[in-house]
Amino acid sequence: MPGQPGIIVMIYLLIIISGAVFGSFFNVCISRIPLKKSIIFPSSSCPHCHQEIKPYNNIPIISYLLLKGRCRDCGNKIDIHYFLVELLTPILLILLFLRLDSHFSLVFFKYAVFISFGIIVFFIDLHNYIIPDTLSLPLIGVGLLVSFLPGTDVSFITAGLSSVIFFLLFLFVAYFFQKLTGKESLGGGDIKLIAGIGAFLGLEGTLFTVLFSSMLALVILLIVNHDPKKQFPLGPFLITGSFVYILAGHKLVGLYLNLFSV
């Protein structure tokens, strides 16, 4: 939208405000879905004293800063992930908008949906070591459904093949590792999540996600000196890898291929 700076500023503000509001809702999903509670009712409350949070104390991003990350009623510290989710959501949506040349399109809304699911999955798996079917299965369905629509970037055949191939690959790795060691390596949630990523990102994007997330996980686990006997969540790494591909994957793949070009 060149030559229309006023409109662009308004669009950015719309994305930021709506992203922060959605981020606040994602926090509700992150805290309630693992407990199998309604994400609609009751209204938000303090996780410590369970007092209902008044609307003027529940303004995304701003309230956390003004209250210094504490509940106004009991004074207990509110986990920083609430603030991070409300901040990350608009940032990721703005980056997506810029990645698509500041245009709204089917691809923008497709990946906005994926980012929304991804943020919720990231923090649920990080805190609870689970990826609920209520998130992974709809992700597969939405990815395949969008691939039918004109103007999308991944065809139905590619989406379907990617979903099936990586689902079977992860299933095989999980089965083989368990037979070999007697221990579980990949949970069912991870296997369904990679199928959803495949439906959205296609073959190249999902392969990138697997390779990037694997390297990132290895580096992080070495840095923190993770005990191999203890469980660790793979979902956050897969989500991070998929976000990197959506926002910068084509450039990174191009840079990598240029290393081998004559």
Check residue 85 and give its pLDDT.
98
Check residue 261 and give its pLDDT.
65
Torsion sign over Cα 63, 68, 72, 74: positive
Check residue 8 and give its pLDDT.
84
Cβ atoms within 10 Å of 158's Cβ, excluding its own: 18
> In whole angstroms, what is the distance from residue 147 CA to residue 225 CA?
41
Cβ atoms within 10 Å of 209's Cβ, excluding its own: 27
CA 159-160-161 angle, 5° bins: 95
- The pLDDT averaged over each successive group of 10 residues in the chain (262 residues) is 72 95 96 92 85 90 94 92 97 96 92 98 96 96 96 96 97 87 80 97 96 94 81 93 94 79 58
Q: Is 52 within 8 Å of 77 (Cβ atoms)?
A: no
Task: Quote the mean pLDDT of the chain.
Answer: 91
The domain segmentation of the chain, as residue ranges, is 1-103, 105-262
